[in-house]
Chains A and B, each alone.
Chain A
Amino acid sequence: MFEPLQEPFMQRALLEVALVGAAGGALGCWVVFYGFSYAAESLAHSLFPGLVLAAIAAAPLLVGAVPAIVLAAAAIALGARIAGVGRDGAVAVVVTTMFGLGALLALSPSSPPGIESLLFGDIFGVSDGDLATAAGLAVLVVVALRLLHGRLLIAGFDRGTARSLGVSPAFADAALLLLLGAGIVVAVQGLGNLLVVAVFVGPAATARRLSDRMLPMMLLAAGLAVLAGVAGLYLSYYAGTAGGASVALAIVAIYLLSLPAERLRDTRPPGTMQTGATIG
Chain B
Amino acid sequence: MMVEVANANAPGETPMSAASLIEAAGLAAGYDGSAAISDVDFSLAAGQTLALLGPNGGGKTTLLRALLGELRPLAGALRVATTCGTVPQTERSRLDYPVSVLDVATMGALARLPWWRRPGRREREAAVRELGRVGLEPLADQTFGRLSGGQRQRVLIARALVQNAGVLLLDEPFSGLDRPSAEGLEALIKELAEAGRGIVIATHDLAQARACDLVLCINKRQVARGRPEDVLDDLGVLEATYGGAIVEIPGGGGRAILPPHHHH
Residues of A with Cβ closer than 8 Å to B?
A: 33, 146-147, 149-151, 153-154, 156-158, 160-161, 163-167, 208, 211-214, 217, 272-280
Chain A residues contacting B142 (CB-CB under 8 Å) are: 272-274
| Interface residue? B33 (CB, 8 A) | no
User: Would you call B147 and A274 a contact (CB within 8 A)?
Assistant: yes
Given contacts A163-B68, A165-B107, A214-B98, contact A277 B147 (CB under 8 A): yes
Residues of B with Cβ closer than 8 Å to A?
A: 68, 70, 84-86, 88, 91-95, 97-100, 103-104, 107-108, 110-113, 115-116, 118-119, 138-139, 142-143, 145-152, 159, 163, 176, 178
User: Would you call A211 and B98 a contact (CB within 8 A)?
Assistant: yes
CA distance A279 to B98 in the complex (A): 18
User: Would you call B98 and A165 a contact (CB within 8 A)?
Assistant: no
User: Would you call A158 and B110 a contact (CB within 8 A)?
Assistant: no
User: Would you call A157 and B85 a contact (CB within 8 A)?
Assistant: no
Chain B residues contacting A274 (CB-CB under 8 Å) are: 142, 146-148, 151
CA distance A18 to B212 in the complex (A): 60
19 A-B pairs within 8 Å (CB atoms) are namely A147-B118, A150-B113, A158-B88, A165-B110, A165-B111, A165-B163, A167-B111, A211-B98, A212-B98, A213-B103, A214-B98, A214-B99, A217-B98, A272-B138, A272-B139, A273-B146, A274-B142, A275-B146, A277-B149
CA distance A279 to B68 in the complex (A): 27
CA distance A272 to B98 in the complex (A): 18
Query: A153-B99, A213-B103, A214-B103 provided; 19 other pairs, C-beta below 8 A?
Result: A147-B116, A149-B118, A150-B119, A153-B107, A158-B92, A160-B88, A160-B92, A163-B70, A167-B110, A212-B98, A212-B143, A213-B100, A274-B146, A277-B145, A277-B152, A278-B148, A278-B149, A280-B149, A280-B176
Chain A residues contacting B103 (CB-CB under 8 Å) are: 153, 213-214
| B163 CB → nearest A CB, Å | 7
Q: Which residue of chain A lies nearest to B147 when distances are taken between CB atoms in the complex?
A: A274
Chain B residues contacting A279 (CB-CB under 8 Å) are: 91, 95, 149, 176
CA distance A167 to B115 in the complex (A): 10
Report which residue of B99, B104, B112, B138 has the largest number of chain A beta carbons within 10 angstroms of its beta carbon.
B99
